Amino acid sequence: MKIKGRAEHSLWYYSQLFKVPLSLISDSNIHLHVNDTLDDKVINIPGYFVKEYDLAQNDSFDSLATKLNINTEALHLVNHGDLTNLTEYSKINIPVRVTEPIVNGEQKYTYLTMSEDIKRLEEIYPFMKTNTIGHSVQNREILEVIVGNGPKQVHMNGSFHANEWITTAVLMAFLNNYLLSITNQTSLAGLKTEPLYHNATLSLVPMVNPDGVELVLNGLANDDKSLEYVIALNEGSPDFSNWKANMNGVDLNKQFPAKWELEQPRKPQQPGPRDFPGYRPLSEPETMAMATLTMNSNFDRVIAFHTQCKEIYWGFDDREPPYSKIIVNEFVKNSGYRPVQTLDSYSGFKDWFIYEWKKPGFTVELGEGENPLPITQFKNIYDESIGIFLAGLYM
């Protein structure tokens, strides 16, 4: 929600007036300098939207404020102070506090759905920032969301694999409920979240493989230039529901330079729907985007969400620090998932992170069954794993 500031006001005053933490007000208005007067400045107030209201017969400004339980000063501000010449049936703006999530994860969660949800969340919670970290094979933006101002740098991601798109839906639901809880100063899964905002800065890439997700969920149009190629890779079948790879037929989670040379000989040697590690590490635009983001950041830990089998992989090549075991035990306590220190597997994203930086890295396998997991599992997966999301920020 945007209001027009006044010279006699401060961000602290707006924090009190709208009952929103001052840190969120400040982080929503980074365009303002410390010594700026607020007179006529556009001020972002997180956690609200503006709705038009038709004045009824005998409505007065004061009676309307009482009837709607809205502070009269807040009414003036959302109407930019222009409340002169009000008549019956005039339209005025009223501030409406957001108290329910807007993300619906229990649906076919496409790239367009995610992009629209991120845009809406950014409008309601302007302390949340978004970046484009790269583009996919088909030139879709790979989006990163940033929330928090804490010293601990935590990265999470989903949908490295196309047929694991439910991870994006779950992560977006986590994100929405986290933003809602911070702004309204409520608890999430029994935990106060405002301290997490100051403890950690969250970097979230909800959909690493947007082209693959779209292919699984929507297929390709008949005039798409890639159609003939991907059908050939898919052994002639137009059913892409089991497709894991990107549009070049490369498994994005087999692409990182963490003993890639050991993984490559035992995997498919040609592009296909799954498991082909590419002809060299980081050959794909999606993996290059993730690698560049990681190399340019100072992440203290990374958590990659996959499906399925309710396991958490937390080691690689004996390079994980001792603290990783403490963190994974907290994840297990909060989810009931099974910890697995090592696998006979190489060249994944978390493998590379541990291999290069010797910091905690985790792959969380959500849910149980055969990929793609049905959306009917969404609620159970969310309930099981919300504690992992939160522990990732506070541990």
Question: Is residue 81 domain-shared with residue 152, that is, in the same domain?
Answer: no
Cite the beta strand spans of 125-259 per DSSP E.
Answer: 129-135, 141-147, 152-158, 187-188, 191-192, 200-205
Question: Is residue 117 domain-shared with residue 26, that is, in the same domain?
Answer: no
Q: What is the per-residue pLDDT for 89? A: 58
Catalytic position from the list 197, 346, 355, 382:
346
User: Which of 97, 127, 151 is the C-terminal boundary of a domain?
Assistant: 97
346 is catalytic: yes
Residue with the bigger pLDDT between 320 and 35: it is 320
Specify if 133 maps to a domain: yes
Question: Is residue 181 domain-shared with residue 84, that is, in the same domain?
Answer: no
From residue 146, how far is each of 20, 200, 381 by CA, in Å? 19, 10, 23
**Is the pLDDT score of 53 beyond 90?**
no
Confidence of residue 142 (pLDDT cuts 50, 70, 90): very high
CATH number at residue 25: 3.10.350.10
88 is catalytic: no
Confidence of residue 240 (pLDDT cuts 50, 70, 90): very high
Angle between helices 349-357 and 285-296 (to 10 degrees): 30
What integer is the mean pLDDT of 349-367? 98
By residue range, what is the domain housing residue 16?
Answer: 2-97
Q: What's the pLDDT tens digit per position in 78-89?
A: 887 665 566 655
**Is the pLDDT score of 127 beyond 70?**
yes
Question: Is residue 60 domain-shared with residue 23, that is, in the same domain?
Answer: yes
Distance of CA 204 to the CA centre of its chain: 5
CATH number at residue 191: 3.40.630.10
User: Which of 97, 130, 148 is the C-terminal boundary of a domain?
Assistant: 97
Q: Is the pTM of this model over 0.85?
A: yes
Give the number of domains in the chain: 2
Catalytic position from the list 313, 365, 382, 384:
365
